[in-house]
Amino acid sequence: MPFQKLPNGVILQVSKYQSPPDLCSLLRASRDLANLLSDALLDCALRSLPETERYAKGALYSAVNRGDELAAKRLIDGGIFKRLDEKKLLKRILLDHERRWGEKALPTLLACGCDPETRDSEGRTLLALAATHGLLEVVELLMDRDDVDINSTDNGNNTPLHMAVEVGDYEVVQLLMDDERVDVNWPNNSNRTPLHIAVMMGHDEVVRLLL
């Protein structure tokens, strides 16, 4: 009798003793098996995390890319971030947002409890990084959250507005300026406001926007 023809209870019992590669093969063999064994694969990936790290990472990447909050949260609650750096993953997804990761990846991780105020070695939050790299949709996503400080500062006391102004991104600057919470006159450690930086960088359109 083919494996997939066995009763579901038997399949689930057998799956408890399968390795991640074997389970992955079963998942690829049949859509019905994929639906049935998805939980078993997550359990298997977390069962002995150091030895199955590659599969656990793959499961998390797949879950966030397809927007599967339940699977992603199960992996996170199961301890995957003991082996995977949460800060690096959030930054990687944000900076490679358009090319490699789907539009659901970052919102899914944030919905699962990842900290949007995570900072890199230079003290930049996700909002600051998004503003620096002109990721308009990500900036908008983060600004809509109550747990994001729109005036967060990096190690040089620069706000996301400083960073958007420095690269001359008119659309991101305008989006930030439209929010009354943004402090337009915040000075960084060099006592420069966003307007000072816009003038220094020669971004005339941004200067007019800030005046």
pLDDT tens per residue, range 159-205 = 999 999 999 999 999 999 999 999 999 999 999 999 999 999 999 99
Residue 130: CB partners within 8 Å, gap ≥ 6? Answer: 94, 138, 139, 142, 160
What pLDDT, on the 0 to 100 scale, is given for residue 16? 55
Task: Check residues 32 and 204 and name the one with the higher pLDDT.
Answer: 204
Strands (E), 96-190: none
Backbone angles phi, psi at 155, to 5 degrees: -65, -20
Tens digit of pLDDT for each residue in 53-85? Answer: 666 677 777 778 878 887 788 778 777 777 677
DSSP SS3 for 21: helix
The dihedral over CA atoms of 149, 150, 155, 158, expressed in degrees to the nearest 10, equals: -160
pLDDT grade for 35, boundaries at 50, 70 and 90 = low
What pLDDT, on the 0 to 100 scale, is given for residue 180? 93
DSSP SS3 for 98: coil
Backbone angles phi, psi at 138, to 5 degrees: -70, -40
What pLDDT, on the 0 to 100 scale, is given for residue 37? 45
Q: Which of 63, 101, 56, 104 is nearest to 79 (CA)?
A: 56
Tens digit of pLDDT for each residue in 113-152? Answer: 888 898 888 999 999 999 999 989 899 999 999 999 999 9
What pLDDT, on the 0 to 100 scale, is given for residue 8? 46
What pLDDT, on the 0 to 100 scale, is given for residue 205? 95
Cα 135 from Cα 72, distance rounded (Å): 24
Query: What type of residue is 40?
Result: A
Domains and CATH numbers, the chain: 115-211 (1.25.40.20)
Q: Which among 37-41, 84-88, 106-110, 164-168 has the top mean pLDDT?
A: 164-168
Give, in order, the Cα–Cα distances in Å from 69 to each of 37, 59, 86, 144. Answer: 17, 12, 16, 19
